[in-house]
Structure 1
Amino acid sequence: MVRVERSEILDFLTYADRRDAIRASAMAAKDLRRVHLGEHLTLLFENRETIRYQIQEMVRAEQMVRESDIQHELDTYNAVLGGDGELGCTLLIEITDAALRPVLLRRWRGLPGHLRLTFTDGSRATARFDDTQMDGERLSSVQFLRFPVGDRVPAGLVVDLPELAASTPLSPATRRALLEDLGRPPAEA
């Protein structure tokens, strides 16, 4: 996955002028890459466009002008993309009941190791969680994951933690988008 470069990031005033069009395009890209898995898990597979949008939003919100601050955002968000042959994604653990949220995030601490991407050849890849987003007691409700893909074709997602157990196929449009993100012809989908 090609990283977002500093030259692609607009100053916050120029971005404000173009924000509506950039946002509409980024939301369309996110819609193709958003997958609901059961009642509580939503995965958003990231690509250059979604990451560039996130960086632009941070630059705008913080009105960043220091190059070191902008570079920090580039480094942080580019890391979410994953490396060659990987798909990076943001996992949202959605628990609407604020009182129940900390209880469930403690109970579901074992989620790493139980979330997998499935492939058309029948194989599976376990998500790699970012250890800095967890402590010894609970998960964060937002996680950054990477799935090793290699030359396989993504087909679906499965979670086998008993309390969250679910599976879902990827839509043909999502499969095509992920293959494009991996730099492969969408005809494989």
Structure 2
Amino acid sequence: MFYSLEKEFFVIPYFSSLYTPLTLQDFSFKKYSQERGVIIPKILRLKQKRRVQLGPDLSITFEHKVLVWFQIHEMLWAERRTQGLEEEIKIYNPLIPKPDILTITAMWEYIEPEERKYKLKNLWNFISYLYVKVEDKKYFSELLSEDSWIPEEDRASSVNFLRFVLPKKVLPHSIHIHHPHYSADAHIPETVWSSFEFS
């Protein structure tokens, strides 16, 4: 297993395991609102460490329990609501990595609406062409099994929640996509895994 949260996240709950699901007890909107100005820079630093640019238009963020915790808090904070927390936890918990599953958010970064519409239609089923490598072995991405994550059938989504199923205690060294309409390769730096350790 590989988990251990950096101690510097003193405002954010310390999770003894980064694999277990989030629960209602992990959230406090009053405290989050009070500490948000301190939390956000720390989250952005963690997110930057776990982000890999795959070619000019595709960014990959390797997910982390703390990032999922933040995303749920931030969504409800932005919408100025405290209702529906239990449902949001249920939706987002599958994004938490497991000992043999890496989860990612893959974002296509097309700003102009017309370009985005055209490109995403051409990139349909890119998921089948996205993979990580461990030595010479390829592990292709998969959709999360939850129905709520299934994208539109005729085009790629701008934001995609995916997973790679790997052997336990194995971390990939590179990520690749070789789709007929988009091809790129990237090294995965050690900083991506700096908030994890084997135990």
User: Cα offset for 1:158?
Assistant: 0.4
User: Cα offset for 1:4?
Assistant: 2.0
Alpha-carbon distance in 1 for matches of 2:194, 2:78: 32
TM-score (norm 1): 0.85
User: Cα offset for 1:163?
Assistant: 2.2
Q: In structure 2, what is the equivalent of residue 126 of structure 1?
A: 140
Alpha-carbon distance in 2 for matches of 1:136, 1:50: 28
Q: In structure 1, what is the equivalent of residue 191 of structure 2?
A: 173
Aligned 1:68-147 pairs, distance under 5 A? 69-119=84-134, 121-130=135-144, 132-147=149-164
Q: In structure 1, what is the equivalent of residue 4 of structure 2?
A: none
Alpha-carbon distance in 1 for matches of 2:158, 2:82: 30
Alpha carbons 2:62, 2:192 under 8 Å: kept: no
Alpha-carbon distance in 1 for matches of 2:185, 2:103: 19
| Deviation string, structure 1 residues 140-180 (Cα, Å, up to 9, x no partner) | 11000001122322101000113211101111211444xx1
How many residues in Structure 1 have an aligned counterpart in Structure 2? 177
Q: Does 1:30 align with 2:30?
A: no
Q: Does 1:3 align with 2:21?
A: yes
TM-score (norm 2): 0.81
Unaligned ranges ≥5, structure 2? 1-18
Alpha-carbon distance in 1 for matches of 2:178, 2:57: 13
User: Cα offset for 1:129?
Assistant: 2.3
Q: Does 1:158 align with 2:176?
A: yes
| Deviation string, structure 1 residues 54-91 (Cα, Å, up to 9, x no partner) | 1111221233333xx10111111111224441111111
Alpha-carbon distance in 1 for matches of 2:27, 2:74: 10
Mark the CA change 1:30 to 1:17 in structure 2 (over 3 Å): closer, same or farther.
same
Alpha carbons 1:91, 1:142 under 8 Å: kept: yes
**Higher helix content, 1 or 2:** 1
Structural RMSD (CA)? 1.8
Q: In structure 1, what is the equivalent of residue 14 of structure 2?
A: none
Alpha carbons 2:65, 2:97 under 8 Å: kept: no
Mark the CA change 1:60 to 1:50 in structure 2 (over 3 Å): closer, same or farther.
same
Letter in 2 for 1:127: S
Letter in 1 for 2:198: R
SS in 2 for 1:65: coil
| Deviation string, structure 1 residues 110-143 (Cα, Å, up to 9, x no partner) | 3021000111x32121011247442231111100
